[in-house]
Amino acid sequence: MQIPHGGIAFFDSGIGGLTVLSACEKYFDDGVFYYYGDNKHAPYGNLSPKKIRRYVFRAFKTFQRLRVRAAVLACNTATAVCVEELRKKYDFPIIGAEPAVCTAASKGGKILVLATRATCESERFQTLCKRAQKLFPEADICIRSCEKLAGAIERNLYKNTFDYTAYLPDEYADAVVLGCTHYIYIVEQIKAFYGCPVYHGNEGIARRLFAVTDKKTDKNHKEKPCDEKSRDGRPPKAVFRKNLGRLTTFCKRQVKRQKNVNKRLRLKGQKSLKNDKTSTLFFLGNTRENNEKVYKQMFVNNE
Ligand code: DGL
């Protein structure tokens, strides 16, 4: 039995994108999902853009073979380095991870944006921060690169009492923006350390994914090449309105939902997880077992 084609793919350097996957899954009652974490090369944050590109494009080759209907670049670093190139090359919608800088800056005050070195040095990220600064001049946007934080999270996730504060810039902030999906695992520790609101973009990614993915199409549907606007995660208005209605219904259903894994399948050496909705999740790549383990431990109840 083969892995079914036409699902929704998620990519990250490692475990960070699982936080995105978990946020997105809640918007769907069924469907096929793939998760590709490249833990072998993680963290990406201190690698050269050239290397990052090479690894990301390798994963996307697999996505192309699976004829995915959409892909989520659940990695701020990969988004910052190569989302535009990926969109040029592939004809399925690609949703990137964008730090919630504008949301935080709209409240004013000192905004500490934490991200990897590669993200901080990227033109895309710097343009975003400049745009936010211009839009909200009452905010003071401070970019801080956390060189070792993502790696420390990747290594110490299961140590509940691990203290990450040594990896955080020690300064005052009115709000903190998490510009790396790995940091979301330690959001409570970051909140406690800075004593201020902490923003991240996972819900925004989930809403964009839901909006660009027309639920009327079945699992095997292959997304038609879409215009620049919809590739950017902004769907044509009609689709967005239609899906927004469904979104409310889905959210209501979500309250009742129990995320109870009741079946496990083994297909061609690849594992899939099936839950009580009818979605199925496949882990891809060399380190799929590691990511499946983290996913089950962190995001699946009643195991
Ligand atoms: N989780 C990734 C991000 O959002 C990458 C972190 C890393 O590998 O350095 O940036």
Mean pLDDT of the chain: 83
Q: pLDDT over 70 for what percent of the chain? A: 77
The Cα 116–Cα 139 span in angstroms is 22
**What pLDDT, in 10s, does the model give residues 144-193?**
999 999 999 999 999 989 999 999 999 999 999 999 999 999 999 999 99
Q: Which of 76, 149, 294 to mutate to test the pocket of ligand 1 (most atoms within 8 A of CB)?
A: 76
Residue 302 has pLDDT above 60, yes or no: no
Residue 1 is predicted with a pLDDT of 53
Among 171, 200, 229, identify where a domain stops: 200
| Residue 2 belongs to a domain | no
Nearest of 176, 178, 186, 6 to residue 76 by alpha carbon: 178
Residue 244 has pLDDT above 60, yes or no: no
Residue 29 is predicted with a pLDDT of 85
| Residue 253 belongs to a domain | yes
- Say if CB 44 and CB 116 are below 8 A apart: yes
Among 200, 222, 257, identify where a domain stops: 200
Q: Ramachandran region of residue 130, left (φ > 0), alpha (ψ -120 to 50) or beta?
A: alpha
Query: What pTM value is reported for the model?
Result: 0.81
Residue 32 has pLDDT above 70, yes or no: yes
b/e 193-203 (16+ beta carbons within 10 angstroms → b) = bbebebbbbbe
Residue 240 has pLDDT above 90, yes or no: no
The Cα 13–Cα 241 span in angstroms is 33
For residue 108, what are the domain limits? 101-200
Residues 181 and 245 in one domain: no
Centre of ligand 1 from the C-alpha of residue 78, in Å: 8
Residues 6+ apart with CB under 8 A from 56: 11, 73, 78, 81, 82, 86
The Cα 74–Cα 137 span in angstroms is 29
Closest approach atom of ligand 1 to CA 42 = 8
Residues 146 and 266 in one domain: no
Nearest of 186, 218, 220 to residue 200 by alpha carbon: 186
Residues 128 and 266 in one domain: no
| Residue 123 belongs to a domain | yes
Closest approach atom of ligand 1 to CA 182 = 1
Residues 231 and 93 in one domain: yes
Q: In what order do the strands lie in the sheet with 109-115?
A: 139-145, 109-115, 175-179, 198-199
Residues 6+ apart with CB under 8 A from 93: 70, 71, 212, 213, 223, 226, 230, 231, 233
Domain with residue 113: its CATH number is 3.40.50.1860
| Residue 151 belongs to a domain | yes
Q: 82, 142, 180, 226: which one is catalytic?
A: 180
Overall domain count for the chain: 2
- Say if CB 82 and CB 52 are below 8 A apart: yes
Question: Residue 294's pLDDT band (boundaries 50, 70, 90)?
Answer: very high
Residue 279 is predicted with a pLDDT of 80
Residues 136 and 172 in one domain: yes
**What pLDDT, in 10s, does the model give residues 46-64?**
999 999 999 999 999 999 9
Beta bridge partners of 95: 72
Residues 279 and 151 in one domain: no
Question: Residue 2's pLDDT band (boundaries 50, 70, 90)?
Answer: confident
If you average pLDDT over residues 117-126, what whole number do you get?
98
Q: Which of 180, 184, 202 to mutate to test the pocket of ligand 1 (most atoms within 8 A of CB)?
A: 180
| Long-range CB contact pairs, 240-243, < 8 A, 24+ | 240/211, 243/210, 243/211, 243/214, 243/215
- Say if CB 136 and CB 102 are below 8 A apart: yes
| Residue 209 belongs to a domain | yes
Residues 82 and 27 in one domain: yes
If you average pLDDT over residues 69-80, what whole number do you get?
98
Residues 105 and 194 in one domain: yes
Residues 117 and 181 in one domain: yes
Q: What is the largest CA-CA distance in the chain?
A: 57
Give the DSSP H/E element, type plus range, for residue 73: strand 70-73
Question: Residue 222's pLDDT band (boundaries 50, 70, 90)?
Answer: very low
Q: 75, 102, 120, 146: which one is catalytic?
A: 75
Beta bridge partners of 282: 34, 272
Among 200, 233, 249, identify where a domain stops: 200
Residues 174 and 149 in one domain: yes
Q: Which of 15, 77, 114 to mutate to test the pocket of ligand 1 (most atoms within 8 A of CB)?
A: 77
Residues 94 and 144 in one domain: no
The Cα 291–Cα 300 span in angstroms is 13
Who lines ligand 1 at CB under 6 A? 12-14, 16, 42-45, 75-77, 97, 116, 119, 150, 180-182
Residues 116 and 50 in one domain: no
Centre of ligand 1 from the C-alpha of residue 42, in Å: 8
Centre of ligand 1 from the C-alpha of residue 241, in Å: 32
Question: Would you tell me the crossing angle of helices 123-135 and 76-89 to the nearest 10 degrees?
Answer: 110
Centre of ligand 1 from the C-alpha of residue 181, in Å: 6
Residue 275 has pLDDT above 50, yes or no: yes
Centre of ligand 1 from the C-alpha of residue 118, in Å: 9
Question: Residue 124's pLDDT band (boundaries 50, 70, 90)?
Answer: very high
| Residue 186 belongs to a domain | yes
Question: Residue 273's pLDDT band (boundaries 50, 70, 90)?
Answer: low
Residue 198 is predicted with a pLDDT of 98
| Residue 217 belongs to a domain | yes
Q: State yes or no: is 142 an active-site residue.
A: no
Q: State yes or no: is 180 an active-site residue.
A: yes
b/e 221-244 (16+ beta carbons within 10 angstroms → b) = eebeebeeebbbbebeeeebebbe
Centre of ligand 1 from the C-alpha of residue 76, in Å: 6
| Residue 242 belongs to a domain | yes
